[in-house]
Structure formats: structure tokens, C-alpha cells
Amino acid sequence: IRGMQSAGKRLLHAAWIDDYNPFFHHLVTDENGARLSVSNGYNYTSESWEWSPARERMYHFRGGVTPSDLLYERIDATGRIDTHATDSPYHSDEMGFRGPLKAAPDGSLVAVGGMILETDGLAIIEHLPIPVQDLAWLDHRLHSLRPTEGVASRNPGGGMTGIWSVDGVAGRPLRVLPVRADRLPRRHIREREVPIFRMFDATTFGGH
């Protein structure tokens, strides 16, 4: 098994189960480990996985091959997975399909590294201005963790809506995670690998 991700009450496994096939199968199991369905034997592992409950889709990258791409497979309420994955129209390593992968709560958008895509045809609608370390959605607003600037809030299509300063907080930024509708903790690693958590108020830019 080269990858796992929860899909609601199900679990998706990226597994190599055929000695004569260099590609992976995607298997879906229930909470007891019973197999519910399996995709065809021409699938991929991925550095990131993202489950979208709103669209019943598992987003992932085309890992281990060139060119890279963004793909998804639908997993319905019974645990049945699509036989074939749907991919983006780009099929290019130059597009940068890598890094954090986050689906909006309503399922309409998915953020990949420095890009925002709509989910009907996986077309890019916006590029983020600088590289990001991590991403998190709160409602329809995307929050990005930036190695040098801190946490930025963005309304897709509406431009930048605020940047929170992190001056005076030493360390290496790792993750930004929503803990409720208006709170974002940011995790740092100081020297000697000591973790630090800082909370941001998403309703008042700069509050913490």
C-alpha cells in the first residue's frame, strides 16, 4: 500500500496488487476493512489526497509518472469507486500540480499549490501570487500559509483580503488548519524541532 485517505466512513487505498502491472489499483474498504470496490489497474499513488464530501470525490495527483496532473474519482454512498479517474485538461509538469491540495467546503473549487481550479472541468481560474506552504478553506475564503509573509486570506476572484503579520514568531512554518468557523491555528517549528501553535481570528484580520 502506497497511500491511504479517508472518504467519509470509507477508506481509499492506493495499492500495487498485480505483479504484472506497474500501475496501482485504488481500493475502497469500509470501517471493518471489507473491500467495497476497486478501480482499474491503471491508477496512481499521490503525495496528497483530498476528499470532498460535497462532490463525493477523491482528488489526487498523477504520482510517479510524467507529466503530472490533477485527477479525481467519485466514491458514492455505497463505497463504489469510479472505474476510471477524471483528469484536468492540462497534463503538464509545468503547471505545478504538487504541494497542498484542498477542496472548498461547497465542492465548487479546489486549490492546488499556487492555483485555484473550478471543479466542473478542472479549469484554472486563478493563480496565487507567491508559493504557499499550506492551504485551508473557511467557508468560501481560502487561507494560505506563506513561508515569508505569514497567513493571507483570499476570496477567489476577489483578490487579497488581508495578510496577518507573524513578525517576532521564529521558526519554520508547517501547517494552517481550521479548527472552527472563525479560527485558524498556525504551526511553526523552532530550532531544536520544538512545535509552536499560534491562533488567528478569521473574522478580524490580525487578531490572535
Structure confidence by residue, pLDDT tens digits, 13-22: 998 877 666 6
CB atoms within 10 A of CB 196: 15
**Region 44-61: what's the mean pLDDT?**
94
Percentage of residues in the chain having pLDDT higher than 70: 77
**pLDDT by residue (tens digit) across 94-138?**
777 888 999 999 999 999 988 999 999 999 998 887 778 899 898
Measured between alpha carbons, how far is 118 from 27 in angstroms, rounded to an integer? 26
Please, what is the average pLDDT of the chain?
A: 81
Relative to beta strand 3-7, strand 10-15 is antiparallel
Measured between alpha carbons, how far is 143 from 134 in angstroms, rounded to an integer? 8
Grid cell for residue 155: 476570496
Q: Which of 11-25, 59-73, 163-177 has the highest mean pLDDT?
A: 59-73
Residue 68 confidence (pLDDT) above 90: no
> Which of 11, 14, 15 is CA-nearest to residue 33?
11
Measured between alpha carbons, how far is 163 from 145 in angstroms, rounded to an integer? 10
Measured between alpha carbons, how far is 57 from 10 in angstroms, rounded to an integer? 12
Which is higher by pLDDT, 196 or 162? 196
Backbone angles phi, psi at 165, to 5 degrees: -75, 145
What is residue 200's predicted lDDT score, i.e. its pLDDT? 73
Task: Name residues whose C-beta falls within 8 Å of residue 34's C-beta, 6 or more positions apart in sequence.
Answer: none
Residue 157 confidence (pLDDT) above 80: no
Its pTM stands at 0.84
